[in-house]
């Protein structure tokens, strides 16, 4: 059985924050980079590279979107970290059994620069789930949402990547394009729904209105996604927590999950995970066109 491996950097962040909490943002950011994060250079490099690859200045993002809110969100970060450490063993065990994960995964808890609440990647050459408490606190601020869904979601990414590599297909890091992103996130979100209680499924936003809000705009969301792809506009607003579409954040996770759930009506989850890229693009567009027209499969309508 793969053992649970956790790297918790939050105690180091607490020590760092006590020293700089009354300093200007520029000083805080400099110390975050050269004091707190310097102990984990690979993690630091990953976070900065995420922005540089998109042509963005990570320091500007940190100065305008992250550090001005750290003080107010610190209590929530502490609560989320406690909850994550408490629920992680059970969430990892349930997800591992449900998806048949037979490789070790390292879980890394940190305070970053807004890259994401959860990130499935590789760390020290091994599969890893990175949990950014600053993003998690922003998304679930003032809500009761738990963290087990984030665990199942990110482990599902790692499982799909492993299955695709074993099938000699593209790994998730090689995916490019809006339809492939929708497929990838939809797959992980459908896994999340299956591992967690489907009756109370709310993604990791912790918002009770998230699923009803997205469902009520299902056809419109599908049509907008198609329009944005055709116009070559970024679909980042469908996935980023700093955006909202008709009052809801991360609508792309809902839309992708609806798509993947439909595909699993005629194929197993494992079969859907290893569809060739050309098939994904063709089927994703066809499914979204059907959604935009307001039609559902017989299983969804019942």
- pLDDT 10s per residue in the chain (302 long)? 567 899 999 999 999 999 999 999 999 999 999 999 999 999 999 999 999 988 999 999 999 999 999 999 999 999 999 999 998 998 899 889 988 888 889 999 999 999 988 899 999 988 999 999 999 898 775 444 456 678 888 999 999 999 999 999 988 888 889 999 999 999 999 998 888 866 555 555 667 788 888 999 999 999 999 999 999 998 989 987 778 888 788 899 999 999 999 999 999 999 999 999 999 999 999 999 999 998 655 344 43
Residue 258 Cα distances to 87, 188, 284, 290, 291, angstroms: 27, 12, 11, 12, 9
Q: What is the pLDDT of residue 208?
A: 74
What CA–CA distance (Å, rounded) separates 209 from 15?
37
The overall pTM is greater than 0.75:
yes
Environment class of residue 25 by beta-carbon count within 10 Å: exposed (0-12), middle (13-18) or buried (19+)? middle
Residue 206: predicted pLDDT? 62
Phi, psi torsion values for 26, nearest 5 degrees:
-60, -40
For residues 277 and 180, is the Cβ–Cβ distance under 8 A?
yes
Contacts of residue 123, defined as CB under 8 A and 6 or more positions apart, other chains included, come to 42, 43, 46, 106, 108, 130
> Do the beta carbons of residue 134 and residue 191 sit within 8 Å?
no
Residue 52 token pair: 């540089």
Angstrom distances, CA of residue 148 to CA of 15, 84, 86, 216: 27, 7, 10, 26
Domain ranges of the chain: 1-169, 175-302
Q: Are 20 and 10 in contact (CB under 8 A)?
A: no
- Confidence (pLDDT) at 62: 97
Q: Judging by DSSP bridges, how do beta strands 119-123 and 126-132 pair with one another?
A: antiparallel
Residue of 188, 191, 156, 183 lying closest to 276 (CA atoms): 183
Distance CA 223, CA 235 (A): 13
- The CA-to-CA distance between both ends of the chain, in Å, stands at 39
CB neighbours of residue 5 within 10 Å: 13
Which pLDDT score is estimated for 149?
79
């Amino acid at each position: 059985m793969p053992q649970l491996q956790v790297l918790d950097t939050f105690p180091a962040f607490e020590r760092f924050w006590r020293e700089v909490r009354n300093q200007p943002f520029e000083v805080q950011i400099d110390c975050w980079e050269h004091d707190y994060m310097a102990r984990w250079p690979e993690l630091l490099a990953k976070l900065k590279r995420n922005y540089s690859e998109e042509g963005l200045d990570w320091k500007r993002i940190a100065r305008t979107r992250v550090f001005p809110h750290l003080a107010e969100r610190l209590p929530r970060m502490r609560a989320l970290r406690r909850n994550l450490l408490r629920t992680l063993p059970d969430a990892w065990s349930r997800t591992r059994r449900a998806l048949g994960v037979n490789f070790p995964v390292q879980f890394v808890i940190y305070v970053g620069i807004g890259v994401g609440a959860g990130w499935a990647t590789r760390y020290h050459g091994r599969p890893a789930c990175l949990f950014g408490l600053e993003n998690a606190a922003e998304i679930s601020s003032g809500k009761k949402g738990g963290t087990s869904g984030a665990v199942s979601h990110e482990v599902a990414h790692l499982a799909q990547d492993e299955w695709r590599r074993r099938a000699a297909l593209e790994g998730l890091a090689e995916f490019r394009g809006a339809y492939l992103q929708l497929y990838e996130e939809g797959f992980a979100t459908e896994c999340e729904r299956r591992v967690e209680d489907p009756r109370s499924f709310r993604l990791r936003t912790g918002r009770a209105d998230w699923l009803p809000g997205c469902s009520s705009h299902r056809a419109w969301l599908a049509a907008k996604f198609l329009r944005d792809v055709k116009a070559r506009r970024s679909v980042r607003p469908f996935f980023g927590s700093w955006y909202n579409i008709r009052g809801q954040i991360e609508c792309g996770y809902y839309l992708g999950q609806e798509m993947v759930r439909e595909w699993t009506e005629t194929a197993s989850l494992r079969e859907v995970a290893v569809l060739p890229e050309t098939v994904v693009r063709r089927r994703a567009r066809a499914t979204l066109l059907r959604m935009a027209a307001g039609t559902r499969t017989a299983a969804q309508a019942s």
